[in-house]
Amino acid sequence: MSNSDTTVELSLSSSSVYHLYRRRFYIISLFGFLAFNQCLFWLTFSPIARNAEIYYNTTEATIDLLLNWGNIICIPTFPLAYLLLNKQQGLRFSMILFAGSSFVACLLRIVPSIITWSSNVQLHSIAVPFLHAGQILNAACAPLVQISVSQISCIWFGPNERTRATTFAITINNFGAAVGFLISPWIVDTPDHVPRLLYIHAGLAFVAFALTVIYFPSHPPTAPSPAAERLSSYSCDGHNSSLLQRFMRDLWQCMITPSFMLLSIVGGLTTGTFSAWTGLYDVILAPENYTEEQAGWFGFSSILAGMIGGFCLGALADMHRFHRSLKILMISSLIGCFLSIVWFELSVHTLFYDDAIISSTPITIGLSIALAGLFQGASAPLIFESLAEIMFPLPESISALAINQWNNVSGLILLFLAPNRYKLMNLLVLIVIGVCILMIAVSKVTYQRRNDERTRLLDQQHDKSSKTEHSCDSSIIN
238-254 pLDDT tens trace: 445 577 787 888 889 88
What is the per-residue pLDDT for 2? 41
What is the per-residue pLDDT for 127? 86
Give the 3-state secondary structure of residue 21.
strand
Q: What is the CA radius of gyration of the chain?
A: 24
Mean pLDDT of 125-141: 90
Looking at 237-241, 379-383, 401-405, 468-472, which range is the least confident one? 237-241
Residue that wins the pLDDT comparison between 28 and 12: 28
Domain 19-235, CATH 3.40.50.720 — does that match? no
What is the residue extent of each domain of the chain? 19-235, 242-467
What torsion, rounded to 10 degrees, do the Cα atoms 402, 405, 411, 413 define? -110
Per-residue confidence band for 392, with pLDDT thresholds at 50, 70 and 90 = confident
What is the per-residue pLDDT for 51? 86
19-235 and 242-467: identical CATH topology = yes
What is the per-residue pLDDT for 5? 41
Mean pLDDT across the chain, nearest whole number? 83
The DSSP-derived string for 34-60 is: HHHHHHHHHTTTSTTHHHHHHHHT--H
Mean pLDDT of 57-78: 83
What is the per-residue pLDDT for 73? 87
State yes or no: pLDDT of 265 exceeds 70. yes
* Range from 128-137, 184-193, 412-421 that averages highest in pLDDT: 128-137
CATH numeric code, 242-467: 1.20.1250.20
State yes or no: pLDDT of 119 exceeds 70. no
Closest CA to 41 of 95, 111, 110, 97: 110
Mean pLDDT of 43-57: 85
Distance of alpha carbon 266 from alpha carbon 384, whole angstroms:
11
Condensed to tens digits (0 to 9), the pLDDT of residues 81-97 reads 888 888 888 889 999 99
Which sign, positive or negative, has the C-alpha torsion 285, 290, 295, 297? negative
Distance of alpha carbon 197 from alpha carbon 176, whole angstroms:
14
What is the per-residue pLDDT for 462? 65
Looking at 21-35, 219-233, 259-273, 436-450, which range is the least confident one? 219-233
Mean pLDDT of 123-138: 88
Contact 452, 154 (CB under 8 A): no
What is the per-residue pLDDT for 223? 85
Mean pLDDT of 260-271: 92
What is the per-residue pLDDT for 370? 93
Contact 258, 275 (CB under 8 A): no
Closest CA to 119 of 31, 55, 67: 55
What is the per-residue pLDDT for 236? 47
pTM comes to 0.80
What is the per-residue pLDDT for 49? 81
Mean pLDDT of 374-389: 90
Distance of alpha carbon 380 from alpha carbon 333, whole angstroms:
10
State yes or no: pLDDT of 472 exceeds 80. no
Per-residue confidence band for 425, with pLDDT thresholds at 50, 70 and 90 = confident
Looking at 118-122, 162-166, 408-412, which range is the least confident one? 118-122
What is the per-residue pLDDT for 176? 87
